[in-house]
Structure 1
């Protein structure tokens, strides 16, 4: 939809700039004082914490501050921002499209462009829910998963219950023989337990939690560091690998699509059955 086609539409550019600056600081998980110091190292003048707080709430941030903040954010996500100029224009698009950063015709198309390693290698907090979680258990190296957990990454993984009611329904809907998806999911659970958790140090093993749920499956969801979400709907009579995949990047402190998928995961996690 063209903004020029709506004569009455006037984007609040000052508010967009304030939101962009605040989102950049939140993405880096820094206090106003620490973020102001980081900005100062990239500019030819000193940025005070008081000025930063003003730019995030009431005043309009200078253009060079916005550029510096954007460069700082880009440094934290190599591979996932290539070819995506997340500037003030992108902020407007983000407001129009609720933080949707990419749409792919299928999961296989998404994985051809964004590998499991690009998604997970630098993650500090990973939360996943879906059916068999093949991205985690089949597409990502077991050795690398053990390494990032040993280094401090936390993981919560939620699988559709093998041999449960709703996985049987999904098998029927996708045209699989009875027990096919259950066997795959049970195998992935075994891989996670025996080849990952049981080979970790006792301290690191505490950073992995997983469980199952027996409810209608709506989405496959991967949440990374409170900023990035990969979400895929389960469609009637369509295999998961062939369903559209959405990349959501949290651009604002509040609102957007990210909190929606975060809430879906949280609700399922609270109702999980422990494995």
Structure 2
């Protein structure tokens, strides 16, 4: 058959001004196809859609959407998420979060990325990050987020309430901080003085204001290595990560927010290990 003959079988809709596609039928077919691909009954599909839509969906409504009525727009979007996610049933996974699953498929356990630390702090100020925490592990250069941006009375209150805090500073007298000063083009001793001040703040203004029991919950240590990341983990579930880039100050570096989704997979365990390995090689104060 020639290409001309093929074209002869096509219908030019420009000559049919009255033509209107049956959009309602297409919508019903899309919703029915999503349920069929997920291998769900009408009851199971309704149960899966309800938390996604934020309102109760019945099996009768699903049946009607597939046969006679036009499905709501949000129901079609939710059905599309079901269609492109891993098949599941409410009976086996009643709390499945399909939106979270799709996001994690693309971005692992990264929940947000900010262009700088200031942009991150505008979205998540220190009190939102730390208030009510049971454990905080921090490694970086000067740990300003804890020592300067979070109020000292709040820090003391956390320790008195039972929070365990481990702070790992770049040694103010080490070679690593000298290399960082050169890279950020600071005069010699600039970052060293800031580190020494923050360490002194914790030792004198925090430890000096709390009970002996609370003092034992604040551990301070030093490491002297090439700095690569600033990592803060809260309650072994939330992690704030900043890379140290060439010739870029830490405050100007991108900030990544990671929320633990799995026990051993994803980025959270990787950055958690960054702290653990440096802490094991550190010198306690």
Map 1:80-119 onto structure 2 (within 5 A): 87-119=97-129
Structure 2 counterpart of 1:236: 246
Structure 2 residue 217 is the aligned partner of structure 1 residue 188: no
Q: Deviation per CA, 1:57-103: give whole Å up to 9, x if none.
A: xx844499417xxxxxxxxxxxxxxxxxxx32122211331201000
Scaled by the length of structure 2, the TM-score of the pair is: 0.67
Residue 132 of structure 1 aligns with which residue?
A: 142
Match of 1:167 in 2: 177
In 1: Cα distance, 2:202 partner to 2:223 partner: 16
| Higher alpha-carbon Rg | 2
**Helix, strand or coil: the match of 2:166?**
strand
Q: Structure 1 segments of 4 or more deviating over 2 A? A: 59-65
Q: How many Å separate the matches in 1 of 2:147 and 2:177?
A: 18
C-alpha RMSD of the superposition: 2.2
1:213 matched residue in structure 2: 223
Which fold has the larger relative contact order, with Cα–Cα distance below 8 Å and residues 6 or more apart in sequence? 1
1:267 counterpart = 2:273: no
Match of 1:27 in 2: none
Q: Please give the alpha-carbon distance, in whole angstroms, between the structure 1 residues aligned to 2:262 and 2:224.
A: 33
Does the 8 Å CA contact 1:91/1:251 hold for their aligned counterparts?
no
Aligned residues: 202
Measure how far apart 1:251 and its partner are.
Answer: 1.2
| TM-score normalised by L of structure 1 | 0.70
Provide the rounded CA distance (Å) in 2 between the counterparts of 1:240 and 1:233.
Answer: 8
Deviation at 1:164, TM superposition (A): 1.1
2:76 is aligned to none
Unaligned runs of 5+ in 2: 1-37, 41-87
Change (3 A) 1:13 1:113: farther
Q: SS where residue 66 of structure 1 aligns?
A: coil
Q: Does 1:225 align with 2:224?
A: no
C-alpha distance in structure 2 between counterparts of 1:256 and 1:61, whole Å: 25
